[in-house]
Amino acid sequence: MDTTVKYVPVIDDCCYDFVFFKECNSVLTYGEKQSTFPIPFKVFTIHDLSPPYTLKFETSLTFFTIKVQPWANAHFFSYLDTSGIIDLSLEKTGILEVQEQFFKDILISDRCTIADDFIKEQNLILSSSALFVKDICEYIYNVKGMTSVNLLSEKY
């Protein structure tokens, strides 16, 4: 049996994530001093920790992530008031049932449908400022990032 500790880098893209773990046996290292934070949760998000991030685990690590776009961060995560790995099973009723569905023997397209249904059930209501951010982000996505600050300031 391979007992070598394995590492997976985590890219910080400034978006929140719903992270669903099958195994709850990893450790997050973060920050310049590489502090550690165990992850015993099945569904979590990372809040207010400094990159760089790395996941450390021993045998296997299976996960599914739902990325929350910047304009929806406040809707889903504005209540967070502590730093660290936040157990989302305490915050979202029914989320552990969603986690179980992700790790059944199903196609990835079925997992994407489950994720889509989960997000739609959250009744996302955006403020006018969130809609403004969404418009800017969608413009940047549509032009594949080929823009400038000057062009954005003129357009918006």
Whether 134 and 119 map to the same domain: the answer is no
131, 100: one domain: no
What CA–CA distance (Å, rounded) separates 30 from 89?
A: 23
Residue 1: inside a domain: no
- In the sheet with 84-87, reading across from the earlier edge strand, the strands are 63-67, 17-21, 43-47, 84-87
Residues whose CB falls within 8 Å of the CB of residue 95, separated by 6 or more in sequence, listed in order: 18, 43, 88, 89, 118
Same domain, 109 and 147: no
Domains in the chain, number: 2
> Using one digit for the tens of pLDDT, what is the confidence trace for 128-141?
998 998 999 999 99
Asked if the structure places residue 116 within a domain, the reply is yes
Q: What token pair was written down for 114? A: 């489950």
pLDDT over 90 (residue 58): no
pLDDT of 86 strictly over 90: yes
Same domain, 87 and 148: no
pLDDT attached to residue 33 = 94
Check pLDDT > 80 for residue 142. yes
Residue 39 scores a pLDDT above 90 = yes
Query: Does 131 lie in the same domain as 88?
Result: no
Give the pLDDT of residue 16. Answer: 93
**Domain span at 146:** 126-156
Do 35 and 58 have their domain in common? yes
Q: Based on the fold, state whether residues 136 and 84 are members of the same structural domain.
A: no
67 and 42 within one domain: yes
For the cut 80, the answer to whether the pLDDT of residue 105 exceeds it is yes
How distant, in Å, are the alpha carbons of 27, 43, 135 from that of 86?
13, 8, 29
Task: Name the amino acid, one letter, at 20.
Answer: F
